[in-house]
Structures are given as structure tokens and as C-alpha cells.
């Protein structure tokens, strides 16, 4: 029996579906659901987590992220402008910074600031400031590149038109180019915000007091207390509570921008 | 039903049969000597959380320490090699590592507590531990209560943390993921003091003369070696080895090697 090309393609696809379905069914049959449910969905344990997991952990995660993102965005903008500058040392400085902080793990930055600074200068920075700097320094390196790309994506004609109206170069940048650039880079900036949200869990390295716990640490602490994995699952879901609306928000903003054009 | 639409169904059914066949022929696991079953035959897998000098610490690419030497005696008795599995302490402490068969036993400078006893079985005590307070030299703190309004660091999921929470009213407690971070925080002045087991703190003070152990709190704690709940064959073996080591002097020799003194009791 010879199959036509189309029939063969269909048969191949059927086998692929079959394997997929079989894998799912096998997983469902083989997995010990009772064990899983006991470990991950212990209702009593889940109840014990509230309201602190919201009022402390979720709030702190958002706080740490916003601190880091705010500082990172400001620094990132400066770095992007430095990178596009006509003054060579500015460019070199910006490139060195970006390559360095984009290349090293965020973990190292936390350790360097959290433990290195106190050892070197005998002053401990405030927790929130350490978090802001650590997350911000790394975030800025990524955001600088994003913003630079955004600025370069604004048509040259915009600058030329602004200049021909008598605006200075700086004025044109601030009033014409940068606002348009930010519209362009909105989606990648949101990505960065979401990444920072998860990176904020690295704050555990600094040592946390009860009021400073964020989601990941809170979940793991409760895991120890209750000897159940449920807290980890719930903490994980709460990250989604932060990140899903963010994605929604960006899609909204994008739609509005598209309409405005 | 045309032949075309039946294809996926047939494929899925065939695959299920194959997979079900696989899962139903689970092996019973190889029995070792004396009904003793190891997670992977030929090696005694030990869960621990590094670093915890002098109980377990990495040196020249190998994990060495008091606990390691002690468990080596067990491994030798079984005629197998010890393999150290470094894993977060909470995984050990909650018994999860035993549930997922990550290791045969846990030797992690771990105090026997009733909460932990519920999720694993402990050997007889093999080490008497007290909680101790570490500060930078020249600090007067002798009690947890004296740290009111100051920061006291503890390690996550340790009995030191439990002690601190119980006695530290008005003290700002700061939790650290592992011992290294806790000790560094004391040294760098981020916390006024740190609480942990005496053995490790004395070891640290030896290497860091700018720090001091200012107090010990006798909490009547004993370290035990943990095994999976119900694994009596291994637990009895461990107990026998500890007993033998204490009577034939090898326990004292190991103790002296790591603490520089002989055990008091």
C-alpha cells in the first residue's frame, strides 16, 4: 500500500499526537495522586499561610521589584543616552557597564553589596536600598540596551523635524524622541519587570527579618514549619498574581498606542 | 469511522499498552546484606547541607568532617562507599529527601527534635550540642534577652532559630539561608550576634579571631543520624556502629581530630 505525500504527513502527525496523549495518560495513571495532593494541596496548611503571605510576602515582593525597577529604569535611560552620545568616553563607560552587569549573575551583585560593602566601609546599607541597588544595577544593564534600541527605532525625520522647529538637540530628545521610544520599548520593558519580580527572591541572601520576607522565602519558611510543599505552590501561584495582570496591562497599553497612531 | 481518523486512537492505545507494561514490572529493589536496602546498591548515600564545619565541609574537592568520618564507619561496616549528597537543609529536615529516595541517611549536624522525628527515624544520639552566641570581639552579650532592639541572626530551619524565637522577645530576628551567610553577617556587623550550634561556632572562632563565642545555652540537644521512616534495618546498623565506635575508641579519635579535645561525657 502506498500512501500519498499528504496521507503520509497525516499518519506521522497522528503518531505524534498518539505519543503525546499516551504520555499524558501514562503520567496520570502512574503518578501517585494521593501523595501529590497531600504534599502540594494541603488545605489546612494553605489556610495557615493567610493573610501574611499577602500582607507581608506579596507586598514585599512588589516593593522590592518596584524599587529595583525604578532605579534600574532611571539608570538605564542615562546609560542608553551615554551609549548614543557623541563623546567617546561616555560611550566606553556605558558599554563597559552594560557588558559587565549583563554578564554576571544577579546573585553576585547581591552578595557584593550585601556583604562586601559592610566589610569594606563598616557601614551596612539599609535593606531596601541594598535591594534597590542590586536589582537596579543589573536591571539597568538590560534596560539600557532596550531603551537604546527604542531610541534608534524612532525615525530620524522626527529629530530633524524637531530641530528644524528650532529645538535644541536635548529638547528634541526629551520632548520628541524619548516619549516615542518608550512606546516602542514598552513590551520588552515589561519583560524586564517580570524578570526582576522573580529575581527579587534573591534578597534571601541578605538575611531577612520576619517583616522583610518576600514570597519565595515565605514559602520555603512555611515549608519547613509545616513540612508540606503546599506553601511553595501557593507562593508560586502568587507570583502569577503579580505577573499576569502586568502582561494584560501591557497589551492594553499597546492597543491604545496602536489606536493613537 | 474512517481509517484516517482511527489512526491517533490506535497509536495512543498502543502506546498506553506499552507504557502500562513498563510500569507494572517494577523491580522489587535489590536486597543487600541482612535485608538492608540501599537507594543505589554499592553506595551509602548521605544527605547533608554544606558547609557546616567541622561536621561537613569541602576541602580540596572532597567533603570531610566529623559526620563524614562517623558515617564512613557505617559504610565500612556495610562494605560500601559513602557518597555525600549536598542538598538544602530544609529538604533534609522535612523528610522530603527520604520520600523521594535521594539518600539513605542524613548526617547533617542535625538535632533530634519531635517535629523531625515525625518525618524520619533517628539513630541514637551521637553528639551533644548546645546553642551558642557568636559576636564580634568586645561585645558584651551573654543572653538572647540582652539583644533587645538589636539584630540577632539565625539559620533557617535550625534549632538555634527556634531558641531565638522563643527567648528573643523585642529582638529583631534575621533569618539566613545558610551558615556561611550568617557568619559573614556577624563578621560584617550586619547583625549584632548570631546563634547556632556550639561545634560550628567554636570552629569559626578558631579561624576568625575578631569574633567570639560569648555564651552557650544548654538546650540538651543531641545530634542524630536520620533515616527514612520505617527503615529499621539501616537504623539498627547505624546504632550498632556508633556503639562500637564509642567502646573501641574510634569515636574519641574522630572527636579529637575535629574538635581538638576529647568528649566530656
ipTM: 0.72
User: How does pLDDT run along chain B (265 residues), one tens digit per residue?
Assistant: 444 455 455 555 555 444 444 443 333 344 444 578 898 889 999 999 988 889 998 888 889 999 999 999 999 999 999 999 988 888 899 898 898 888 999 999 999 999 999 999 999 999 998 999 999 998 889 999 999 999 999 999 888 999 999 999 999 999 998 888 899 899 888 999 999 999 899 889 988 899 999 999 988 899 999 999 999 999 999 999 999 999 999 999 999 999 877 776 5
User: What's the Cα-to-Cα distance from A145 to each of A155, A204, A220, A251, B250, rounded to whole Å?
Assistant: 18, 28, 35, 22, 62
Please tell me the predicted confidence (pLDDT) of residue B265.
53
**Residue from B115, B202, B8 nearest A11 by CA:** B8
Q: Does A209 touch chain B (CB under 8 A)?
A: yes
The pLDDT tens digits for A165-215 are: 999 999 999 999 999 999 899 989 999 999 999 999 999 888 888 889 999
Interface check for A63 against chain B (CB to CB < 8 A): the answer is no
Residues of B with CB under 8 A from a CB of A: 4, 7-12, 14-16, 18-20, 23, 90, 93-96, 115, 118-119, 151, 153, 156-157, 172-177, 181-182, 184-185, 187-191
Is the full-model pTM beyond 0.80? no
Give the residue on A whose Cα is nearest the Cα of B11.
A18
With beta carbons under 8 A apart, name residues in chain A contacting B15: 18-19, 21-23, 26
Q: What's residue B134's pLDDT?
A: 96
* Chain B interface includes A4 (CB < 8 A): no
- Choose among B16, B151, B177: nearest Cβ to A25: B16
A11 touching chain B per CB within 8 A: yes
What is the Cα A174 distance to its own chain's centre? 26
Set of chain A residues whose Cβ sits within 8 Å of the Cβ of B175: 207-210, 213, 217, 221
A224-239 average pLDDT score: 88
CA-closest candidate to residue B79, choices B48, B30, B38, B107: B38
Any CB–CB contact under 8 A between A9 and chain B? no
Minimum-distance CB partner of B188 among A118, A208, A209: A118
A120 CB near a chain B CB, below 8 Å?
A: no
Beta carbons of B35 and A45 less than 8 angstroms apart: no
What residues contact A54, with CB distance under 8 A and at least 6 apart?
A238
Q: Give the per-residue pLDDT at A1.
A: 60
Residue A108 has pLDDT above 90, yes or no: yes
User: Nearest Cα to B68, choosing from B79, B78, B59, B56?
Assistant: B56
**pLDDT given at position B1:** 40
| Residue indicated by cell numbers 574522630 | B254
Residue A44 touches chain B, beta carbons under 8 Å: no
Report the pLDDT value the prediction gives residue B34, as an integer from 0 to 100: 54
Closest residue to A119, CB basis, from B153, B173, B188: B188
**CB-based contacts of B162, cutoff 8 Å, min separation 6:** none
CB contact under 8 A, B172 and A209: yes
pLDDT at A70 (0 to 100): 97
Check residue A259 and give its pLDDT: 75
- Pairing mode of beta strands B172-176, B151-155: parallel
Contact between chains at A209 and B16 (C-beta distance less than 8 A): no
Query: Which pLDDT score is estimated for B264?
Result: 64
- Helix (H, G, I), strand (E, B), or coil: what is residue B213? strand
Measuring CA to CA, how many Å separate B212 from each of A145, B53, B104?
48, 16, 37
Kindly report the nearest CA distance between residue A227 and chain B, in angstroms.
Answer: 5
Each residue's pLDDT tens digit, A11-67 = 999 999 999 999 999 988 888 888 788 778 888 889 999 999 999 999 999 999 999
B20, B148 Cβ separation under 8 angstroms: no
Amino acid at each position: 500500500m502506498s500512501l500519498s505525500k499528504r496521507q503520509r504527513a497525516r499518519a506521522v502527525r497522528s503518531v505524534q499526537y498518539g505519543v503525546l496523549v499516551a504520555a499524558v495518560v501514562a503520567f496520570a495513571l502512574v503518578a501517585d495522586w494521593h501523595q501529590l495532593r497531600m504534599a502540594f494541596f494541603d488545605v489546612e496548611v494553605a489556610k495557615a499561610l493567610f493573610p501574611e503571605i499577602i500582607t507581608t510576602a506579596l507586598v514585599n515582593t512588589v516593593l522590592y521589584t518596584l524599587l529595583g525597577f525604578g532605579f534600574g529604569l532611571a539608570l538605564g535611560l542615562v546609560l542608553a543616552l551615554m551609549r548614543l552620545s557623541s563623546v567617546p568616553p561616555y560611550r566606553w563607560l556605558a558599554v563597559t557597564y552594560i557588558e559587565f552587569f549583563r554578564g554576571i549573575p544577579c546573585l553576585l551583585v547581591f552578595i557584593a553589596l550585601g556583604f562586601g560593602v559592610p566589610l569594606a566601609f563598616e557601614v551596612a546599607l539599609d535593606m531596601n536600598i541594598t535591594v534597590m541597588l542590586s536589582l537596579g544595577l543589573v536591571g539597568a544593564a538590560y534596560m539600557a540596551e532596550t531603551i537604546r534600541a527604542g531610541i534608534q527605532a524612532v525615525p530620524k525625520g522626527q529629530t530633524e523635524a524637531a530641530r528644524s522647529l528650532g529645538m535644541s538637540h536635548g529638547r528634541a530628545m526629551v520632548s520628541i524622541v524619548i516619549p516615542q521610544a518608550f512606546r516602542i520599548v514598552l513590551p520588552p520593558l515589561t519583560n524586564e519587570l517580570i524578570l526582576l519580580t522573580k529575581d527579587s527572591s534573591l534578597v534571601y541572601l541578605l538575611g531577612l527579618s520576619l517583616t522583610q520576607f518576600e514570597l519565595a522565602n515565605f514559602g520555603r519558611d512555611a515549608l519547613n514549619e509545616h513540612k508540606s510543599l503546599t506553601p511553595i505552590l501557593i507562593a508560586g501561584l502568587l507570583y502569577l498574581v503579580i505577573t499576569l495582570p502586568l502582561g494584560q496591562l501591557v497589551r492594553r497599553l499597546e492597543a491604545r498606542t496602536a489606536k493613537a497612531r | 469511522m474512517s481509517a484516517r481518523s482511527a489512526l491517533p486512537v490506535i497509536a495512543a492505545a498502543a502506546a498506553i499498552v506499552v507504557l502500562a507494561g513498563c510500569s507494572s514490572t517494577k523491580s522489587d529493589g535489590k536486597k543487600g546484606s541482612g535485608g538492608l536496602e540501599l537507594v543505589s546498591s554499592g553506595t551509602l548515600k548521605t544527605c547533608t547541607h554544606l558547609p557546616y564545619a567541622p561536621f561537613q565541609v569541602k576541602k580540596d574537592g572532597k567533603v570531610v568532617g566529623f559526620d563524614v568520618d562517623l558515617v564512613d564507619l557505617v559504610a565500612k561496616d556495610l562494605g560500601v562507599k559513602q557518597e555525600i549528597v549536598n542538598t538544602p537543609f530544609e529538604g533534609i529536615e522535612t523528610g522530603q529527601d527520604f520520600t523521594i529516595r535521594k539518600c539513605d541517611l542524613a548526617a547533617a549536624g542535625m538535632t533530634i527534635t519531635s517535629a523531625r522525628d515525625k518525618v524520619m527515624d533517628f539513630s541514637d544520639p551521637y553528639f551533644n550540642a548546645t546553642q551558642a552566641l557568636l559576636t564580634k570581639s568586645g561585645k558584651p552579650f551573654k543572653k538572647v534577652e540582652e539583644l533587645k532592639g538589636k539584630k540577632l541572626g539565625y539559620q533557617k530551619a535550625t534549632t538555634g532559630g527556634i531558641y531565638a524565637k522563643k527567648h528573643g522577645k523585642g529582638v529583631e530576628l534575621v533569618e539566613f539561608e545558610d551558615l556561611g551567610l550568617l557568619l559573614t553577617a556577624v563578621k560584617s556587623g550586619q547583625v549584632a550576634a548570631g546563634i547556632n550550634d556550639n561545634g560550628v561556632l567554636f570552629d569559626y572562632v578558631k579561624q576568625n579571631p575578631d569574633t567570639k563565642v560569648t555564651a552557650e545555652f544548654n538546650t540538651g540537644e543531641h545530634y542524630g543520624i536520620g533515616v527514612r521512616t520505617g527503615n529499621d534495618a539501616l537504623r539498627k546498623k547505624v546504632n550498632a556502629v556508633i556503639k562500637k565506635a564509642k567502646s573501641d575508641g574510634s569515636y574519641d579519635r574522630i572527636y579529637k581530630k575535629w574538635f581538638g579535645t576529647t568528649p566530656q561525657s
